[in-house]
Chains A and B, each alone.
Chain A
């Protein structure tokens, strides 16, 4: 089953790093993901976060603000 993952962020360096980390973890775990970067401010705000980068997995916000930890990404992807 493909997981729908969105990385929320206006395109700052941390947001790109976060997207790369998600990709790397997904490959390591062998989880199929559909990764989308959301850069539109209105769309980002619609998810209810106040700091970026944010991560949304299957429609649920799991992280906001700062770089996530690799272990946490793995946990979100395999949940």
Chain B
């Protein structure tokens, strides 16, 4: 986190001392965050020892995973979401659309997928966003690149993968996630399926509007970050606890050789199975990463597990139901097919690369 105390405020009426006060508070909070975070593991080990559970048993292992991972994941999530909340205050779907409108396919797909990472997006906004993009001249395939990347390659998934599984896995996920979004969007664009949109969508004629610039100060951006934390943590809190509980169960009870035989590298069918199982499931990235961590600890292959994770996040039944309002069933099927195929390919590729 950068602390540039001399950042010029964009409006003259904001007093500079108020801005520096906010920056100081952010710096102090981040410092406190690191201090507490460093103490988590000793604390959880101590806490499990206080419980009337024999050490080394299944229950003790599961409890330790749960007691350590819950605060760890919540703290990481808070930090990552805050930082991204600040970054995202520089982007808006309207601005992204202006950047993408009239872009040719290819370059447009790459730009759309990359912007998908930093543009604020929530699934309740997916339909207005889709129509807003398409009606303002963003090509259909480019719109899909955005729509695939935005939920899949998000800051929560990347931040947690980085923290729990290391930078190699996070970078690989970033690269392959973007790759799927770019290629799948491009392929869908090549099919020229504009006719498969719902009729009313094609009839919407709108011009991209220019919004009057709202005054945004440094303090506003910090507040945006805090707002994002409140919003996301409230929304995904239960998923995280559920995910960690499931992870704890896997960590403590599921025998490693059983899991390795089902999800290990030698089971070729496990990648497609993971993708298929992932589609009807829906969870936030924050809920799935602890499960991923536990599965990997038991010898599951990385590609198989990440294919499962991508499938759960990128192809979820609730999102498909929302998209059905603008896409015909045929176009939904193409979308699922193309993205699913991409995830499948990535799963096998990961298993090859991280042998």
Contacts of B326 in A (CB 8 A): 41
Which residues does chain B contribute within 8 Å of A8, judged by CB atoms? Answer: 128
Residues of chain A contacted by B330 (CB below 8 angstroms):
none
Given contacts A63-B214, A64-B92, A72-B214, contact A49 B209 (CB under 8 A): yes
A12 at the interface (CB under 8 A from B): yes
Give the residues in chain A near B124, CB-CB below 8 Å: 10, 12, 52
A1 proximal to B (CB < 8 A): no
Interface residues of A (CB under 8 A from B): 8, 10, 12, 41-42, 44-52, 61-69, 72
Does B325 interact with chain A (Cβ within 8 Å)? yes
A17 → B minimal CB distance (Å): 11
Measured CB to CB, the closest approach of chain B to A33, in angstroms, equals 19
Query: Is there contact, CB below 8 Å, between A64 and B200?
Result: no
Asked if B329 is an interface residue, CB under 8 A from chain A, the answer is no
B120 contacts which of A10, A66, A72 (Cβ < 8 Å)? A66
Whether A48 contacts B125 in the complex (CB less than 8 A), given A63-B214, A65-B94, comes out as no
How many residues belonging to B are interface residues under a CB distance threshold of 8 Å? 32
Q: Across the interface, do B200 and A51 meet the contact criterion of CB distance under 8 Å?
A: no
A6 vs B205: C-alpha distance in the bound complex, in angstroms?
19
> What are the residues of chain A within 8 A of B94 when measuring CB–CB?
49-51, 64-65
Q: Tell me whether A49 and B132 are in contact (CB under 8 A).
A: yes
**In whole Å, how far is B349's beta carbon from the nearest beta carbon of chain A?**
33
- 1/0 contact string of B204-247 vs chain A (CB within 8 Å): 11111101101100001000000100000000000000000000
Q: A66 contacts which chain B residues (CB < 8 A)?
A: 120
| Chain B residue, CB-CB nearest to A11 | B124
Query: Does B342 have its Cβ within 8 Å of any Cβ on chain A?
Result: no
Assess A41 versus B211: contact at CB under 8 Å? Given A49-B94, A65-B94: no
Whether B334 sits at the interface, judged by CB under 8 Å, is: no
Residues of A within 8 A of B208 (CB): 48
Say whether B211 contacts A62, CB under 8 Å. yes
Specify which of A62, A67, A69 is in contact with B212 (CB 8 Å cutoff).
Answer: A62
A59 to B129, CA, bound (A): 20
Q: Which of A47, A51, A67 contacts B125 (CB 8 A)?
A: A51
Q: Bound complex: CA of A12 vs CA of B208, how far in Å?
A: 23
Say yes or no: A63 contacts B129, CB within 8 Å: no
A11 to chain B, nearest CB (A): 9
Residues of B within 8 A of A50 (CB): 93-94, 96-97, 128-129, 132-133, 136
Alpha-carbon distance between A41 and B325 when the two chains are bound, in angstroms: 9
Decide if A52 touches B204 in the complex (CB within 8 Å). Answer: no
* B129 close to A51 (CB less than 8 A): yes
Partner of A45, one of B120, B206, B211: B206
Chain A residues within 8 Å of B97, by CB: 50
If the complex has contacts A62-B212, A65-B92, A69-B214, are A46 and B127 also in contact, measured as CB distance less than 8 A? no
If A51-B94, A51-B120, A65-B92 touch, whether A46 touches B128 (CB-CB below 8 Å) is: no
